[in-house]
Amino acid sequence: SSLRIAVIAGDGIGPEVIEQAIRAAEAAVQRYSPARLEWNRLPWSTAYYKKHGHMLPPDGWDLLREHDAILFGAVGDPSVPDRITVHELLLPMRRRFDQYVNLRPAYLFAGVPCPLVGKKPGEIDLLVFRENTEGEYAPVGGRLYPETPAEVAVQTALFTRRGCERIMRAAFEAARRRPRKKVTSITKSNALIWGMGLWDAVFEDVRRDYPDVQSHSLLVDAAAMDLVRKPETFDVIVASNLFGDILTDLSAAVTGSIGLASSANINPTREYPSMFEPVHGSAPDIAGRGIANPLAAILSAGLMLDHLGLSAAAEAIRQAVAAVLAEGKVRTPDLGGSHTTTDMGNAVVAALQG
Ligand X SMILES: CC(C)[C@H](C(=O)O)[C@@H](O)C(=O)O
Q: Exposure of 132 by Cβ count < 10 A (0-12 exposed, 13-18 middle, 19+ buried)? A: buried
Q: Is the dihedral of CA 335, 332, 351, 70 positive or negative?
A: positive
107: left (phi over 0), alpha (psi -120 to 50) or beta: beta
Neighbours of 141 (CB within 10 A): 10
Give the nearer residue to a copy of itself in terms of CB position, either 32 or 243.
243
- Are 258 and 280 a contacting pair, CB within 8 Å? yes
Count how many residues are written for the chain.
Answer: 354
Check 11, 68, 188, 334 and give the catalytic one: 188
Check 82, 200, 226, 249 and give the catalytic one: 249
Sheet holding 214-219, edge to edge: 36-42, 2-10, 69-74, 274-278, 262-266, 101-107, 125-131, 236-239, 182-187, 214-219
Give the nearer residue to ligand X in terms of CB position, either 136 or 343.
136
Orientation of helix 14-32 relative to helix 295-307, angle to 10°: 50
- Are 21 and 300 a contacting pair, CB within 8 Å? yes
Please give the Cα distance from 266 to 277 (Å, whole number): 11
Window 46-65: residues binding a copy of itself (CB under 8 A): none
Q: Indicate whether 249 belongs to the interface with a copy of itself (CB under 8 A).
A: yes
Give the nearer residue to ligand X in terms of CB position, either 190 or 353.
190
Q: Indicate whether 157 belongs to the interface with a copy of itself (CB under 8 A).
A: yes
Whether residue 62 lies in the annotated active site: no
Please give the Cα distance from 65 to 63 (Å, whole number): 5
Window 223-242: residues binding a copy of itself (CB under 8 A): 224-226, 228-229, 241-242
One character per residue 29-68, x = contact with ligand X (rule: CB under 6 A): ----------------------------------------
Residue 248 C-beta: closest distance to ligand X, Å: 7
Residue 239 C-beta: closest distance to a copy of itself, Å: 12
Q: Indicate whether 110 belongs to the interface with a copy of itself (CB under 8 A).
A: no
Window 200-259: residues binding ligand X (CB under 6 A): 221, 245
C-alpha torsion angle, residues 332, 334, 335, 340 (rounded to 10):
0
Whether residue 137 lies in the annotated active site: yes
Whether residue 221 lies in the annotated active site: yes
One character per residue 162-201, x = contact with ligand X (rule: CB under 6 A): ----------------------------xx----------
Q: Indicate whether 326 belongs to the interface with a copy of itself (CB under 8 A).
A: no
Give the nearer residue to ligand X in terms of CB position, either 32 or 159.
159
Give the nearer residue to ligand X in terms of CB position, either 237 or 347.
237
Which of 11, 45, 5 has its CA nearest to residue 25? 5
Please give the Cα distance from 218 to 278 (Å, whole number): 27
Q: CA 350 → CA 22, 27, 202, 317, 346, distances in Å? A: 14, 9, 47, 11, 6
One character per residue 254-283, x = contact with ligand X (rule: CB under 6 A): -------------------------x-x--
Q: Indicate whether 188 belongs to the interface with a copy of itself (CB under 8 A).
A: yes
Question: Which residues are at the interface with a copy of itself (CB under 8 A)?
Answer: 76, 82-83, 86-87, 91, 113-117, 136-137, 139, 141-143, 147-162, 188-199, 201, 220-222, 224-226, 228-229, 241-242, 245-250, 252-254, 258
| Catalytic (active-site) positions | 137, 188, 221, 245, 249
Contacts with ligand X by CB under 6 A lie at 86, 90, 190-191, 221, 245, 279, 281
